[in-house]
Amino acid sequence: MLKQLKNEKVFLLLLIYDIVVVNLSYFIALMLRFDFSYSLIEPIYLKTWLHFIPIYTIFCIVVFIYLNLYKSIWRFASYMELVRVVGATVVTSFFHITITIMLLNRMPISYYLIGGLLQFLFMISIRFSYRFILLIRSRTSKPSHRVMLVGAGDAGMMILRDIRRAKEVNERVVCIIDDDERKWDKYLEDVPIVGGRNDIVANVEAYDVDKIYIALPSANAKERKEVLEICKDTDCEIKVLPGMYQLVSGEVRVSHMKKVSIEDLLGREPIDADLSEVFSFINEKTVLVTGGGGSIGSELCRQIAKNNPKKLIIFDMYENNVYDLQQELKYHYPELDFIVEIGSVRDSRRLWDLFKTYRPDIVYHAAAHKHVPLMEVSPNEAIKNNAIGTYKTAYAAVMNGCKRFVLISTDKAVNPTNIMGASKRLCEMIIQAFDAKIKRNEAHQIPELFTHFQEDFDVTIERGDYDHIETEFVAVRFGNVLGSNGSVVPLFKKQLEAGGPLTVTDPRMIRYFMTIPEAVSLVLLAGTFAKGGEIFVLDMGSPVKIDDLAKNLIRFSGFKPNVDIKIVYTGLRPGEKLYEEKLMAEEGLQKTENNLIFIGNPIPFDIDGFLKQLETMMKKAYENDSNIREYVATMVNTYHPRKETDNV
């Protein structure tokens, strides 16, 4: 209510001001024509002016209201407000000339010219004076932050103006960086453009800068990373403008600047996969995603939902995560036919009922225990959930007519030093064994592995039906996923918000990284390429040192590593190694149609012997055998458990 009254008061005052100045302007023009001597003004001119005042006043107010001159927020006055005032002056001046000449009396030419000019100056001065006062205040008050702006283009200009007019932002842009040499030693709204990216560090010191805003929406990922690499040598807080879309939409604001993310440091463009093949592959098919509430599983569900499946079944044992996903899909895809089922991949009866009810055409198996240190403490749980859970899910898929089974694997399955990685290698071997048996028409030889009495649960099928089994099994292997459950990046951010320290296991540790949507889109694509038995390997780009990630996050938040925020090296945890590999040396690589997806040649192993060992391993796991690692090592000859004294 108070705000409305204030707005009405401003409107009334501005209206009175305009009524005065539109008439006073032409009276002053008349006085100027007669050397500021009232007595020299010819009566006919004075009479014409007096008779025209009421008409002109009403006309001007109507024009001003029509052109929204009383609705603009003048603290943000800019080009459009100027155009409106010019338009109002032209229209009213033309009206003034036409009516006086045609209906009253012709006035001196100087009267029309000077009167129109004075009217414009009076109107524009009152409307832009507020912004001018704010500008003077901002120059005279001491800002809490001194900002360097990187980018003297349209986005940089918008950020600069937004900083100057925003009351809530107590900042001042003191210098600008741009790689275009033609702009050097010039000014952008009286802020000096002091040089290119190589001059950033020197000018941070010269201008006492404590914040750097990077406004380069059109720069590619490599260029942004190069600028960030230079900026990290300063002690400034760094923010970036996320994307080109904001510039196109005219929505560039200081509030849109975001803190530097790990994605900005990868130094590559986001992978934009062509999913047209995925659409034709998934279209009108029933798709099951196990572990659908997890970080990878939930993104699989989102991208599958976009590709018009006949039905989507989301299976997970954790109801909280999957409930959130359920509500999200209902909101974004109201026409999607999907069902959420709660259960565990360890439960044979539950799995059999699930597959028998829905008969999925495609299965994406993402259910797994993934936390390396936790699985080292509970190794039998890794075997029960990952290896045996995969076996049971794959068996149910085979016996219920599934056409494609895609296993989500990990680079930790390569030469594993931890039980989680070894369990995922077992998963890969399981799906390769299943695929081989099916191709040899030996599906009937795949043993049934159940943790309860078989006579209580008979899932056998007629012998002749085995000849029609056509399930194709593939695995997709990739590295660490940014932002996923258990990823180091969310942990670092939480530690940073708490004031540190950031915990790094070893300064030499190296990992490959990919974003969740990137990884999932490539998983979907790899699934369409499958012919059975392959292990697809995703190109994760260049490896990144975890220590560098921690230091860069600290720097880009405006702090000094080991000065403001400490980094503590905790040592490798049980089962960890310094680097992850994407495939074993003996696997080799084959190209696919997509240059980001490769196929690792299968490592031969005794399939029949392996399948027999699985039953023994399952019994040991459910007996919580303390020697489970040693037995797994007999099955996975690349598994070498890391001892506390090992360095890698």
pLDDT tens digits for range 32-61: 888 888 888 888 888 888 888 889 989 999
Give residue 5's pLDDT band: very low, low, confident or very high (50, 70, 90): very low
Average pLDDT for 130-134: 63
The CATH architecture one would assign to domain 145-260 is 3-Layer(aba) Sandwich (3.40)
Mean pLDDT of all residues in the chain?
A: 81
Q: Which residues of 439-462 are buried (b: 16+ CB within 10 A; e: fewer)?
A: eeeebeebeebbeeeeeeeebeee
Query: Under a CB-based contact definition with an 8 Å cutoff, are residues 490 and 550 in contact?
Result: no
Which residues are CB-contacts of 5 (< 8 A; sequence separation ≥ 6)? none
Verdict on whether the full-model pTM lies above 0.75? no
| Percentage with pLDDT > 70 across the chain | 81
Q: 375-394 as b/e, with b when 16 or more CB fall inside 10 Å?
A: bbeebbbbbbbbbbbbbbbb
Residue pointed to by tokens 């979907």: 524
pLDDT of residue 459: 53
d(CA 385, CA 420): 10
> What is the DSSP code string of 277-329?
HHHHHHTT-EEEEETTTSHHHHHHHHHHHTT--SEEEEEES-HHHHHHHHHHH
Question: Is the model's pLDDT at 627 over the cut of 90?
Answer: yes
Does residue 385 carry a pLDDT above 90? Answer: yes
Tallying the residues shown for the chain, one arrives at 648
Structure tokens at 91: 């229209």
What is the tens place of the pLDDT at every residue in 262-293?
Answer: 566 555 555 666 677 888 889 899 999 999 99
Choice among 285, 370, 412, 437 that is catalytic: 412
Asked if 412 is an active-site residue, the reply is yes
Q: Are 165 and 138 in contact (CB under 8 A)?
A: no
Model pLDDT, residue 259: 64
Whether domain 275-452+462-484+512-543+580-635 has CATH 1.10.760.10: the reply is no
Instruction: In the chain, list all ranges with CATH 3.40.50.720.
Output: 145-260, 275-452+462-484+512-543+580-635
pLDDT digits (tens, 9 = 90+) for 331-349: 999 999 999 999 999 999 9
Query: What angle do the packed helices 607-622 and 419-439 form, to 10 degrees?
Result: 140
Tell me the pLDDT tens digit for each residue of 561-599: 888 888 888 887 766 667 666 554 445 667 777 777 778
CA dihedral (405, 406, 409, 415) positive or negative? positive
